[in-house]
Structure 1
């Protein structure tokens, strides 16, 4: 039986809850910004420490992958042992990992630091959402969720601007080190204004089998998607069997095993990692599917777009950041009007309008992309896309959790966040691989059409694809390879059109999934305010009646 979330809580609302919201929003902004802050710095990082294109994908994907793999487990840990405690521990780990990432001297060390950052982020996100769900009720909860969701959408876009500024004027390393002072400020807020909450009714213990099956299964699937370009989908260049189909098959099998184990443990009364019966709630099931698909399109686009802008269109890291900030402007401007729209139209309608805006804007960008495209046109498309993000992301969380009992908010928050982060990792893996594969194929075919012999063609194709296009400006600057560089730049534009079009299709599929969401009528704000005023009226009337 569902709990009516609009009723008053059994205990008084915490006095510092709005300051707690500020601390939560700052903490969430930090981990979301860090998912994208390095994207515009990628060409510089690739050149500075010799990252390969595959390592660049892993640097982004491993963060989201660990994020996704541990959310379920750590959401439950927060329910059991205290969400504020988990929030503080996660922020501490995140700050220390950020120090290590900024000091990394090789791709392996940077990827390892990003992995640890993902662990810290996986502690922070479910703790923040469950805390908001526990300390806010009614319309205040809707406002808190809107702030939380808008922070996610907006900071994903602000990250590239911050990364571009630091990369251009200071160092790409400060894109990580910036997290240290901000993280310390969040820790101070956690200790002073965030109340401790936990689920006193939940069963004790953890499902370690579920932890291992889900983490290894998702890791194997993402490995297969990222490494498919390196090893091939079936055979390697040497003719031996590629590890990709093995990893993909094993990953799918492990995830099926995870579902079966969870169901069996639930039937026998044992503790489970996640209660899969939550997926029987229609709003939660289809809302989570939509969140996964949309995150795939959004984060895949944020990963691939800076590579196009810097390596083919000639923008600096800072110029790229300024272009992408138009996305954030759209998000923040629309977020202010989202509560009013939600009150009039309902959360489901606002999510649909937002996703439709996203799909149209990204599709328009794909259709108009060219080497001579004006930055103002790119900014306009990104602004429209950001407006859609501001509407959809802010309300999707509220729609997903609309029918979930408060007692199960920890599990539900962790599961829906897992869908989002898994979508983010898949976005980098799928769209990043699509970009690089299309880039290599198109560069090779265009050089062949220009009559370049295979012996000269293959080194160019390898240099361009292995560097994710970062070798293109150098090729263009050398008179001996300028023609090949121009050809590769045109190939990158074509590959970006394919990738961006793919992102638009993915977002449109997410929009289609929202048609299965149940209708939740908007709350009449006037009626709610009238109901709140009525007790005060009665109290004022009592002395007059004596």
Structure 2
């Protein structure tokens, strides 16, 4: 096999590795009802089955990006895939909700080893126009797998078992390991000593984990004061304060974040290795690209939280039908991959990013316009295709813009930073859009019940509203058998919440589009040289 063919074959297996971890982050959503029935898990456990993976994943990205630079990018990728596959077997065989959550945490460790190394391997393997095409394939894979996950999960859950939603990862892992060993060359930064900034790593994990925890759990515990009856427990210890743990989590975020920066700058001035190459932020494409990527991520995947719930609980589709509808997003994303490779030599990567974000805005806003309790798949699919097309364009090329001027020997740190920015943006988007969804559902349903069922006692109305919101709409089919009028009001209210969530997502994407105007297509040679040497002694200033 020639070196060129080997490179592109290697990209296929790198993309499958990305697909593995992205699918797993979405495949569980459609399997949750079956997991609840089989394991009898509580609503709190349901939440952690979905969120423990994201929490650990985001917290460790920066650490493993740096470790990959030092110890070998291919090696780190392979170790991550092995850990991920082993944890998937553990999850598939889990006899209880607690053990399933433990398995999801271990999966998060493996996933955090895989994602930044795929980016840095591409950055080290491809150059020039080829790199742009490779990033397009990588980004389209992410966009497509966001939709394929629910489809695959729906099919496996409907015809086999929810356990196969995890078991499917094992044969994929075997394919990845064999392909990477055969087709992907090892790369690492041999100039740096094989040591890690342990204090910096701990501070980084604390900052990331506490921020993601706060964003995810704020609606559950309360953003300031603790919600009644929601005190978190740790074994036999119960949270004793009226203050919610969320402000404490954010205080830890600030303290550890500031400590991380100050400690890193101290080590940099002393000529020691640091977890994050702060000099990279002197490169405008890296600095401004990360800001844009974080804002865009606020709106990109938050809508995927509400759509499956709405399709199943309001429209009445099963898990497989929901996955088939969301397949339009994957088709649009893969179509974008082909187009971006054709036009990349005609317009700049930044221009492609802007076109992609505009398509996302049109798609998500269009969904908001057509969503109602009486919508059909015919009205949804065109806008999902447009949205997926935009994700495929924007995700790939924005990643390329962020890393295009990063020295290869810093690509692991750079990709880890970029991935962390995206994950934090996604977590923030899910937290905000989830709050908008469920708050709107509760407000709308309460108002509709008050208008349409005036004889219904207030206590009964409150109970119905709480049941629909807490169950994320899962109680709606049961209400239909008891009181069709109440069920109709609940369907309309959940449609209202989904629509408002879509409009909010499009608003975030507009902000992301505006942020891209801080990106330029050029970089000064002296800025790259400074990043290469890592000689910055202070935080970078705007240029």
The answer to whether TM tops 0.5 is: yes
Distance 2:459 2:124 in 1: 64
Counterpart in the other structure of 1:186? 176
CA contact (8 A) 2:280 2:287 kept: yes
Counterpart in the other structure of 1:357? 359
Counterpart in the other structure of 2:400? 398
Residue 152 of structure 1 deviates from its aligned partner by: 1.4
Residue 50 of structure 1 deviates from its aligned partner by: 4.5
Which sections of structure 2, spanning at least 5 residues, go unmatched?
A: 229-240, 524-543
CA contact (8 A) 1:229 1:437 kept: no
Distance 1:168 1:389 in 2: 28
Distance 2:189 2:421 in 1: 22
Distance 1:237 1:175 in 2: 34
Count, aligned residues: 508
CA contact (8 A) 2:277 2:410 kept: no
Counterpart in the other structure of 2:298? 296
Counterpart in the other structure of 2:85? 95
Distance 2:94 2:435 in 1: 25
Counterpart in the other structure of 2:538? none
Residue 424 of structure 1 deviates from its aligned partner by: 2.6
Counterpart in the other structure of 2:373? 371
Counterpart in the other structure of 1:535? none
In the alignment, which of 475, 478, 488 is matched to residue 474 of structure 1?
478
Distance 2:440 2:299 in 1: 17
1:68 and 2:84 correspond: no
Residue 97 of structure 1 deviates from its aligned partner by: 1.2
Distance 1:448 1:357 in 2: 39
CA contact (8 A) 2:227 2:244 kept: no
In the alignment, which of 303, 316, 319 is matched to residue 317 of structure 1?
319
For the aligned residues, what is the CA RMSD? 2.1
Residue 361 of structure 1 deviates from its aligned partner by: 1.0
1:453 and 2:457 correspond: yes
Residue 500 of structure 1 deviates from its aligned partner by: 1.2
Residue 223 of structure 1 deviates from its aligned partner by: 2.2
3-state SS in 2 of match to 1:262: helix
- Name the stretch that deviates more: 352-361 or 78-87: 78-87
TM-score (norm 1): 0.88
1:495 and 2:485 correspond: no
Residue 201 of structure 1 deviates from its aligned partner by: 1.2
Distance 1:109 1:303 in 2: 24
CA contact (8 A) 1:472 1:489 kept: yes
3-state SS in 2 of match to 1:40: helix
Residue 294 of structure 1 deviates from its aligned partner by: 2.1
Residue 274 of structure 1 deviates from its aligned partner by: 0.5
Residue 291 of structure 1 deviates from its aligned partner by: 1.6
Change (3 A) 1:178 1:165: same
Counterpart in the other structure of 1:31? 21
CA contact (8 A) 1:293 1:507 kept: yes
CA contact (8 A) 2:223 2:246 kept: yes
CA contact (8 A) 1:292 1:423 kept: yes
In the alignment, which of 444, 447, 453 is matched to residue 446 of structure 2?
444
Residue 104 of structure 1 deviates from its aligned partner by: 3.1
Report runs of 4+ in structure 1 exceeding 6 Å deviation.
none
1:160 and 2:150 correspond: yes
Change (3 A) 1:418 1:374: same
Residue 60 of structure 1 deviates from its aligned partner by: 3.2
Rg larger in structure: 1
Residue 242 of structure 1 deviates from its aligned partner by: 1.9
Distance 1:139 1:112 in 2: 42
In the alignment, which of 223, 241, 244 is matched to residue 243 of structure 2?
241
1:79 and 2:72 correspond: no
TM-score (norm 2): 0.88
Counterpart in the other structure of 1:254? 256
Deviations 1:371-392 (A, max 9, x none): 1122111001000001111211
Change (3 A) 1:15 1:230: closer
Distance 2:502 2:16 in 1: 30
Distance 2:99 2:499 in 1: 33
Counterpart in the other structure of 2:436? 434
Deviations 1:486-507 (A, max 9, x none): 2222211111111111111111
